[in-house]
Amino acid sequence: MADLNYHHLRYFRAVAHEGNLTRAADALNLAPSALSAQIRALEDRLGHALFERSGRRLLLTEAGRIALAHADDIAAAGEELLATLREKRRTQRILRVGALATLSRNFQLAFLRPVLGQLDVEVILRSGGMAELLRALEALSLDVVLTSEPPGSAAGGPFVAHRLAEEPVSLIGRPALLAGHATLATRLAAAPLILPTPESGLRAGFEALRERLGVTLQIAAEVDDMAMMRLLAREGIGLAVLPPIVVRDELASGELEEAERLPGLVQPFHAVTIARRFPNPLLREVLRGEVVIRRE
C-alpha cells in the first residue's frame, strides 16, 4: 500500500457517501471531470470497478463496499492521530451477524464463541425476521444469518446454508400434566399441546410422528417463537414440543419436566452465507469451529 494515493481514497469516500459525482465534486471544490479521473485512477490501482450506475446514482460494487470500509477506517485513524497524538489503536475486525428473533440464544453464543473475547474483534448482532435478514445478507450488510431452517427456494439469491448443529426434541410440561400416562401416544392424546406453527420443519416432523401413532391432538397453541412456547409451558397451558435446551433452567429447578424424547425429531441450526468474491475472514473462524451448545 506504499504507493496508494490517499487523496484518491478521500475523493472516493466523498463520492461513495454522496452517491452522486456532481454533488461530491461541489463539496470537494473540484470539476466533476477531474473527480471522475481520480476515481478511475483508484479503480485502476485496485484492479476493480468501485461503482455501478443506477439512473443518476452511483452504487457501490462489492469491491466498492470493501474499499469504503477500509477508507473509512483509514480516515478515522487519521482523525484520531491528529486529535490525540497518541498511539493508534489496533484495527478492529468486525463480524456482522443476523439471527432469527426466535432462535435459541444458546446456539447463537455457541456459534460466536470462537471469536468472542478477541480484543481486535467486534461482533454486531442483529435480530429480525427471515426475509429481512436475507435481504440484509444479500446487500452485504450482514456476513452471516443464523436460523433454524435453511432458506426456501422462494427466497431466491445465491444463499449457502451450513448445517452446524442439531438438538433433540422432547415433550415438556409441568409435572401435573405429565402424571398418569404410560406411553407417548396416551400423553399426546390426553393433554393440550403447544406446537410450532404449521410452516416450520419441526411441525412437519411432528405431524409425521402423530400419523404414525394414530392419535388425535388437542392443540392449545401454535407458536413460532420458542421463547413464547417456553413461557406457555411454564404457565401450564399444555405440553410443549421443544428442544430441552430451551427450558434448561426450568428443567433444572423442577418447574418443568421432560416426558420423553420424540423419536426422529431434531431441531437443526444453520448458518446462512452468500457467495462473495471477498468473504469476511472471520467467517472462516466461526464456520470451522465446533458448535457445542452447553447444557450445564
More confident residue, 103 or 52: 52
pTM of the predicted model as reported, rounded to 2 decimal places: 0.61
What pLDDT sits at residue 276? 80
More confident residue, 1 or 207: 207
SS3 111: helix
CA-to-CA separations, 7 to 4, 13, 39, 41, 88, in angstroms, rounded: 9, 10, 10, 11, 21
pLDDT tens across 83-138, in order?
545 444 446 788 999 998 878 787 888 889 888 888 888 899 998 888 889 988 88
Query: 168-266: which CATH topology?
Result: D-Maltodextrin-Binding Protein; domain 2 (3.40.190)
Closest by alpha carbon to 99, among 134, 60, 52, 49?
Answer: 134
Whether 93-165+270-288 shares its CATH topology with 168-266 is answered yes
pLDDT band at 273 (very low <50, low <70, confident <90, very high): very high
Q: Which CATH class is domain 93-165+270-288?
A: alpha beta
What pLDDT sits at residue 87? 40
The C-alpha atoms of residue 179 and residue 169 are separated, in whole angstroms, by: 20
pLDDT band at 149 (very low <50, low <70, confident <90, very high): confident
Q: Which CATH class is domain 6-84?
A: mainly alpha
Extents of the domains making up the chain: 6-84, 93-165+270-288, 168-266
